[in-house]
Amino acid sequence: MKDRVPLLLDTDIGSDIDDAVCLTYLLAEPRCDLLGVTTVTGQPERRAMLADAICRAAGRPEVPIFSGCDVPLLYEQKQPQAPQAEVLSRWAHREDFEPYAAVDFLRRKIRSRPGEITLLTIGPLTNVGLLFAEDPEVPRLLKRLVMMGGYYFAGRKTEWNTSGDPIASALVFNADVPELVAYGLDVTTQCRLSAEECRKRFAGGPFEVVRAMAEVWFRRAGETTFHDPLAAACIFEPETCTYRTGRVRMDLTPGETYGATLFEESAGGRHRVAEKVNASRFFGRYFDVTKAFAAA
C-alpha cells in the first residue's frame, strides 16, 4: 500500500491494558509500517515479552522489539512491575531481550531514515528523553512525535505518562522536533468501554492475548479507557480530534503540581494539543481496522 507511515512505538505495555489494545490496532492498520517496538519503565524485559506475544499471535513475529530503561531520570519509580506479565506462560514469546537496548535501536533506526519516521510514545518518556539528551540531532531527524500524555485544559493536573518521568518529559518538550502532537486526558478519557463490552469485542488472534491481559487490569478497574489507541488512530485520521497550537512545558517546581503539563497557546507554537474528540468516530475506526483479527 502506498503512503504507509513508518512508525516506531515506545510503550509501557503490561500495566494499563490500553497499550496492548494500541499495539493490536497498529498491527492491523494497513497504513502502518511498524518498524519496531521499545519498552520502558519497571521490568522492561517482561514488557518486551508481552509485546512479542501479541505480535506473534498476530502473525508478525518479525517486528523488532527492544527492552529499554527501567527507572526514570532523577525521579522515583511509580510502576516497578509489569503485572500483566503473569499471563506470559500461556502464550509463545521470546525471552532473550538484551537490557537497555531500546535507546540505541531508536537512534539507529531514526538516523537511517531521516525525515520519514513517526515516533509514537504511550508510556513514560525515559527512553525518548535519554535518546534526545544523548543525541540532540535525533529530534530534528524525525518526521513527527505523537504522544499520549499530559493534561492541558484542566488546570495544573498531572497525567501518568508525562509525570512518570518529569525530567525526561521536559527534555522531549524542549527538543527541536519538527512536529509534536499530544493527546492528553482532556480527550482520551472520553473514549471508554466497560469490561463487559471489552470481553465481547476482544476475541480472535492477538485479541486472545489482550483479553487475558485485560482480566488482570479488570481486577482494579471496571472499564478500559482507550488512551493510547486514540493517539495511534489519530496518526492516520487526525480529524478525529480538534487541536490548539502552542507550547507545552513541564512544571518542575517542587510541590503538588510537580510533573504537570502547562500549555501556552500561540499561533507560532510547534506543539499541537488535542482539545476535543469525536469518540464515536474513533471507536468506529478502531473496530473496523481490527475486525480481521476479531474474525480470525
In the numeric block, which cell numbers belong to residue 134?
544523548
In the numeric block, which cell numbers belong to residue 168?
525526561
pLDDT beyond 90 at 294: no
The pLDDT, as a whole number, for residue 93 is 97
pTM of the model: 0.97
pLDDT band at 295 (very low <50, low <70, confident <90, very high): low
Structural domain span for residue 43: 5-294
Other beta carbons within 10 Å of 200 = 12
Q: How many angstroms from the chain centroid is the CA of residue 122?
A: 2
List, for residues 43-73, the tens digit of each pLDDT value: 999 999 999 999 999 999 999 999 999 999 9
Q: Supply the mean pLDDT for the chain.
A: 96
Give the span between the Cα atoms of 17 and 267, in whole angstroms. Answer: 36
Residue range 181-205: average pLDDT?
Answer: 96
pLDDT band at 1 (very low <50, low <70, confident <90, very high): low
Query: Coil, helix or strand for 64?
Result: coil
Q: Kindly state the percentage of the chain with pLDDT values over 90.
A: 95
Number of domains in the chain: 1
pLDDT beyond 90 at 293: no
The pLDDT, as a whole number, for residue 292 is 84
Cα–Cα–Cα angle for 282, 259, 228, rounded to 5 degrees: 20
Residue range 1-7: average pLDDT?
Answer: 84
List, for residues 278-291, the tens digit of each pLDDT value: 999 999 999 999 99
pLDDT beyond 70 at 296: no
Give the CATH number, domain containing residue 148: 3.90.245.10
Q: Do the Cβ atoms of 246 and 282 come closer than 8 Å?
A: no
The pLDDT, as a whole number, for residue 74 is 87
Q: What is the DSSP string of 82-112?
A: -GGGGGGGGS-----PPTT-HHHHHHHHHHH
List, for residues 148-190, the tens digit of each pLDDT value: 999 999 889 999 999 999 999 999 999 999 999 999 999 999 9
pLDDT band at 34 (very low <50, low <70, confident <90, very high): very high
pLDDT band at 252 (very low <50, low <70, confident <90, very high): very high
List, for residues 211-244, the tens digit of each pLDDT value: 999 999 999 999 999 999 999 999 999 999 999 9
List, for residues 78-130, the tens digit of each pLDDT value: 999 999 999 999 999 999 999 999 999 999 999 999 999 999 999 999 999 99
